[in-house]
Amino acid sequence: MSAVDRDATAAVAPSVSDNGEPLATNSHDHHHHGDTPERGYGPWILVAGLAVALLLRDRVGWLSDTDVRLWSTLFVSVCIQALPFLVLGVVVSGLIAAFVSPEFVQRIVPKRAFLAVPSAGLAGMALPGCECGSVPIAGRLVAAGTPQAAALTFLLAAPAINPVVLVSTAVAFPNDRELVLARFVASFLTAIAVGTWWARRTNTSLLDSVGHLHKHREGKWERFVDVASRDLVHAGGYLVVGAMAAATLQLVVPRSVLTSVADSEVLSVLMFAALAVVLSICSEADAFVAAGLPQFSLTSRLVFLVVGPVIDLKLVAMHAGIFGRRFAIVFAPVTLAVAVISAVIVGQVIL
């Protein structure tokens, strides 16, 4: 089991004694956060790489080439534009984790599935958070007795249609404001469609193994600081990777190849769907990465913005850790297919 799986599983499943009684615990039930500093390696690797580049800048000729300077400009511009929204997003996510309990969400979500699904989607808009944070919250909702379909709808809606994400999209695409509406509609339809699909399933045993709800004992402000600081480092690393990928695609991949892919809507859609899954960028920052590839159609970039917040590699790992591998195997392909189809249809209608 990976580090993400271990930490995510610990977020929901409490420790038990030999006789089956739950043990007292001080562990955090927030997403992907353990008590060990094993997630701190990414930033140090980045710092080490930058240090090596600075030491070799006068000895390696290509580091001063015009293309490399342009790559640096593209990379830095994406990071600087996205960073304020990334910080705002993790602050809001930390506040939600610290001050909004799963019981509150459970109270505002109706018990009947056909009402619970759209209500959970709207609750996701009102209670914004990053996609990583929505997974353990959904796990706690299931453990507390919330309808499974509603919990999964909240899981998909919260990181995709919240105000921080929509504002960042408007800033990233100042001349294409209709993309904000398209992102909201396609993401909301994705959450509702997947939630309705789950509600109509006769076999719900895939979520029966979710652990019992338990309380965290640290203070609310301590929890906020812990969640927000860890999320900032975690999401910031993915932002750096995404900005590097966008800048590299612009300069390393031959212009003729990018043009040929951009000219084919099918290839563009498939490429952006794959990038969304692989890059695993935080939803508060992904619009700036998509804006860095202007030669592609708005519909194909909409696919990137709709797929990323609902399914990517880190989310699959968290789904497997909290809900089980069998759930992840079923849930991931269905969510990916629904997200792509919703984005394409909405893009053709609105964009």
**Sign, CA torsion 323/286/121/199:** negative
Q: What is the mean pLDDT of each run of 10 residues along the chain (351 residues)?
A: 45 44 40 39 55 58 66 80 77 73 70 80 78 76 82 91 91 94 97 93 70 57 78 72 78 80 94 92 89 93 96 87 88 97 97 91
Contact 133, 249 (CB under 8 A): no
Residue-level length of the chain: 351
Query: What pLDDT digit, counting tens, does each position of 181-237 carry?
Result: 999 999 999 999 999 999 888 776 777 656 544 455 567 788 788 877 777 776 777
Q: Can you tell me the distance from the alpha carbon of 3 to that of 158, in angstroms, rounded to the nearest whole number?
A: 24
Cα atoms found within 13 Å of the Cα of residue 322, Cβ hemisphere only: 32
The predicted structure's pLDDT at residue 55: 62
Of 59, 297, 343, 70, nearest to 173 by C-alpha is 297
The predicted structure's pLDDT at residue 41: 46
The domains of the chain are located at: 3-15+40-56+63-350
The predicted structure's pLDDT at residue 195: 94
Distance spanning both ends of the chain, measured CA to CA: 42
The predicted structure's pLDDT at residue 146: 80
pTM attached to this predicted model: 0.75
Contact 103, 197 (CB under 8 A): no
Q: Can you tell me the distance from the alpha carbon of 331 to that of 338, in angstroms, rounded to the nearest whole number?
A: 11
Helical ranges in 144-264 per DSSP H: 148-157, 163-172, 178-200, 220-251, 255-263
The amino acid present at 76, given as its one-letter code, is V
Query: What pLDDT digit, counting tens, does each position of 73-109 carry?
Result: 878 887 887 778 777 777 776 777 677 666 676 677 7
- Report the chain's C-alpha Rg in angstroms: 21
The predicted structure's pLDDT at residue 11: 44
Q: Can you tell me the distance from the alpha carbon of 26 to that of 64, in angstroms, rounded to the nearest whole number?
A: 51
Of 283, 212, 267, 215, nearest to 21 by C-alpha is 212
